[in-house]
Structure 1
Amino acid sequence: MTDFLRLDDYNVPGYGLTVTGDLEIRTEDLSGETSGTARVDKGLKPKRLNVSLCIRFKDQNALRDLVRVVEARGRNGEGKVYTIANREANVAGIRQVRFTDKFDWKPISGIKAWSVSFTLREYLSVPERVEQRETKPEAVAQTSNGKTVTAETENTKNATKSKGATEPTGQSGQTGQSDATTDETAQTAQPAQEPLTSVEKILSWLDRALA
């Protein structure tokens, strides 16, 4: 008989709690029609815990709460994953479980109580974790403006950008011509000198004669 069974912070109610475990080892017979004993190992299935207990009629609220725990769903609509604390589970290395198969309760003849039984299946067993680590993720193509972009396409774009940055574009020559045009415009824009008066002409002639 098991002392207790806790799922997360929930203590499974009742009395006469019994938990048994089983582990399915998958093999395939290779002997065919012969009397050989050759078999091939197909791996291990997740461990299972078979739970049975009794709940008195007067503790019907406890049974109702247990049903709600069984019905709880996770984020993806799957059965909720519980961290389990139990001697038979922990000795087999079971850390997390989900309810599986069916949840059964029925009255016990001659006793004002229900006989309750259910099955817990190990979540993310050791073989499952090993398989997930060995599986390599596939490359996922990204989309840009409705077009599929792969790593090769991105490399080609980057190479084109680098080439365009190193090659002359002819803009420098155009810039030089623009500067020259600007200088000519500036010179043309200088104000013209006004013509000399008669007195100014005579004074200018005397300056040149004396010089």
Structure 2
Amino acid sequence: MTEYSQLNGYNVPGYNLTVSGELEIRTEDLSGETSGTARVDKGVKPKKLNVSTNIRCEDAKQLRELIRVIEARGEHGEGKVYNITNREANAAGIKQVRVSDRFSWKPIAGLQAWAVTFTLREYLSVPEKAEKREKKPEPVAQKSEGAAIEPKKEATPVQTAEATQEPLTLLENILHKIDKALA
């Protein structure tokens, strides 16, 4: 069976096309310096598809066209969202993707062809959709029991800097005397 991949109906060109997937589940160690196994869940990140294909040098036009597809931008300048048709993507439940990270091509030693690789990241993953549907708790206004206290309108005496100066510690006292002696 020949592997194929389509992005919005565009057939990814080349031969030896392979698509592999990744799913990152982030956790953080809570054990500190102990040997405990406690971890906190930091969420399921969008799935990634790593795509590699080979394009013959005589088909340079296909490479240029693929680069244009990869460079395409959406309405607001972000990477374009593509509907994907691919066996691995379908098996993982991935329906839409964006180009992520990098796109590279390099000559294949001994062949008149380029090895092309790029990464597609899932757009609006199932965990992301579920997170958006969750209702955020409404902030609750804090209430205080009792009556408000009115400030007194008496004149407060002006304090000088010397009156508010805190007493020196023993060390500060010794250093102050040494400083005066040296001056």
- 1:3 equivalent to 2:16? Answer no
Q: Name the amino acid aligned to 2:24.
A: E
Offset of residue 2 of structure 1: 6.2
Q: For 1:1-211, what aligned pairs fall within 5 Å after superposition?
A: 3-135=3-135
Offset of residue 71 of structure 1: 0.5
Offset of residue 131 of structure 1: 1.4
Offset of residue 49 of structure 1: 0.3
Aligned mates of 2:19, 2:53 — CA distance in 1: 9
**Higher alpha-carbon Rg:** 1
CA deviations over 1:180-205 (Å, ceiling 9, x no partner):
xxxxxxxxxxxxxxxxxxxxxxxxxx
Structure 1 length as normaliser, TM-score?
0.63
CA deviations over 1:3-27 (Å, ceiling 9, x no partner):
1000011000000001100000010
**Greater relative contact order (Cα < 8 A, sep 6+):** 2
Structure 2 length as normaliser, TM-score?
0.72
Q: Name the amino acid aligned to 1:39.
A: R
Aligned partners of 1:2 and 1:87 also within 8 Å? no
- Paired residues, number: 138
| Consecutive aligned runs of 4 or more in structure 1 exceeding 6 Å deviation | none
Aligned partners of 1:2 and 1:18 also within 8 Å? no
Aligned mates of 1:98, 1:18 — CA distance in 2: 18
Aligned mates of 1:67, 1:135 — CA distance in 2: 41
Unaligned runs of 5+ in 1: 139-211
Identity of aligned pairs, percent?
Answer: 71
Offset of residue 42 of structure 1: 1.0
Aligned partners of 1:107 and 1:114 also within 8 Å? yes
Unaligned runs of 5+ in 2: 139-183
